Chain A
């Protein structure tokens, strides 16, 4: 006959197995999202890999609590928020600035889909350079919307803002980018 301690141990083991299975599923579903976000934040594959790895390791440590508190809501905003905080530390600790667009636009073109390959290479590079000139919060909101396909509510949760504030942020980001692109095109034409 099993003792209380044995029964508690078995229950804990079952919980742990379920939690690990859930985490594996989360990891498989969102690896590309976290990697894309990291890449557009830091601008090179080496650091993006590092950031992605750190994000999932940190997520694993706090997964049980996050799952409990999410009450069934998607965990992608939580994951991206971890990557966002780690990226902020990355710049602060190493006094680096993102390299996206200018240095790596050629690499980006090579990694994009066939559909994107038919786009004008200069146009792509110009857009990325202009994204780079945006304030951090606007740039991040655009990455979340266009690279990850997150909706307003998800972006709001990832950035710790209200849905309304996020809608305004995205609108302003797009308007500002439009202006920057127009200026760049007029300047180069």
Chain B
């Protein structure tokens, strides 16, 4: 009877028994050492690979135009956008200039002054803040 009762209570405590049966297992010391050594080798290999890739990338003449073209292309695109902005802002003031100008020469002078002023503003906006 007592044995039967014990079994019944054991069955209901299945989670505790499972926890005891499926206890975590410590990995063998040799595995930890082997893994650390292997991972260390991998890390070194990856670092060497990265370094080799950078050097080969710089040594390979095929990469030179790309390396040089990227900043050049950025300058061209940036300059184009800046010029467009200057034209746009100068055009916006054309009616005011015409109204104020005394003749064609004066209008041309005022237009040039506006272009210079807008170019300076765009340049100042684009320059990095210090």
Tell me the A residues contacting B by CB distance below 8 Å.
4-5, 9, 12-13, 16, 20, 23-24, 27, 31-33, 35-36, 39-40, 45, 48-49, 52-53, 56-57, 60, 108, 111-113, 115-116, 119, 123-124, 127-128, 131, 142-143, 146-149, 174, 177-178, 181-182, 185, 189
- Please judge, given known A-B contacts A57-B38, A60-B39, A127-B21, whether A111 and B11 are in contact too, CB under 8 Å: no
Quick check: is B22 within 8 A (CB to CB) of the other chain? yes
Considering the complex of A and B, which 6 residue pairs feature the smallest CB-CB distances, nearest first?
A35-B27, A127-B21, A146-B22, A147-B22, A112-B23, A36-B24
Q: Which residues of B lie under 8 Å from residue A48 when comparing CB positions?
A: 25
Q: Which residues of A lie under 8 Å from residue B34 when comparing CB positions?
A: 53
With beta carbons under 8 angstroms apart, the residue of B11, B21, B50 that contacts A124 is B21
Interface residues of B in 1-48 (CB under 8 A from A): 3, 7, 10-11, 14-15, 17-28, 31-32, 34-35, 38-39, 42-43, 46-47
- Please judge, given known A-B contacts A9-B54, A53-B35, whether A35 and B47 are in contact too, CB under 8 Å: no
Are A123 and B42 interface neighbours, CB within 8 A?
A: no
Tell me the B residues contacting A by CB distance below 8 Å.
3, 7, 10-11, 14-15, 17-28, 31-32, 34-35, 38-39, 42-43, 46-47, 50-51, 54, 57-58, 67, 71
- Please judge, given known A-B contacts A27-B35, A53-B31, whether A35 and B18 are in contact too, CB under 8 Å: no
CA A7 – CA B23 in complex, angstroms? 50
With beta carbons under 8 angstroms apart, the residue of B18, B35, B43, B51 that contacts A142 is B18
With beta carbons under 8 angstroms apart, the residue of A24, A57, A124, A143 that contacts B20 is A124
CA A147 – CA B15 in complex, angstroms? 12
- Please judge, given known A-B contacts A27-B35, A32-B27, A36-B25, whether A174 and B15 are in contact too, CB under 8 Å: yes
Q: Which residues of B lie under 8 Å from residue A189 when comparing CB positions?
A: 3, 7
CA A60 – CA B38 in complex, angstroms? 11
Are A5 and B42 interface neighbours, CB within 8 A?
A: no
Are A5 and B54 interface neighbours, CB within 8 A?
A: yes
- Tell me how far the C-beta of A90 lies from the nearest C-beta in chain B, rounded to whole angstroms: 17
- Tell me how far the C-beta of A20 lies from the nearest C-beta in chain B, rounded to whole angstroms: 5
Are B54 and A115 interface neighbours, CB within 8 A?
A: no
Are B18 and A177 interface neighbours, CB within 8 A?
A: yes
A-B contact pairs, 7 of them (CB 8 A): A9-B51, A13-B50, A16-B47, A32-B26, A33-B24, A52-B27, A108-B21
Across the two chains, which residue of chain B brings its CB closest to A40?
B22
CA A27 – CA B31 in complex, angstroms? 12
Q: Which residues of A lie under 8 Å from residue B23 when comparing CB positions?
A: 111-113, 116, 147
Are A49 and B46 interface neighbours, CB within 8 A?
A: no
- Tell me how far the C-beta of A22 lies from the nearest C-beta in chain B, rounded to whole angstroms: 12
Are A177 and B39 interface neighbours, CB within 8 A?
A: no
- Please judge, given known A-B contacts A53-B38, A189-B7, whether A32 and B25 are in contact too, CB under 8 Å: yes
Are A60 and B42 interface neighbours, CB within 8 A?
A: yes
- Tell me how far the C-beta of A185 lies from the nearest C-beta in chain B, rounded to whole angstroms: 5
Q: Which residues of A lie under 8 Å from residue B24 when comparing CB positions?
A: 32-33, 36, 147-149
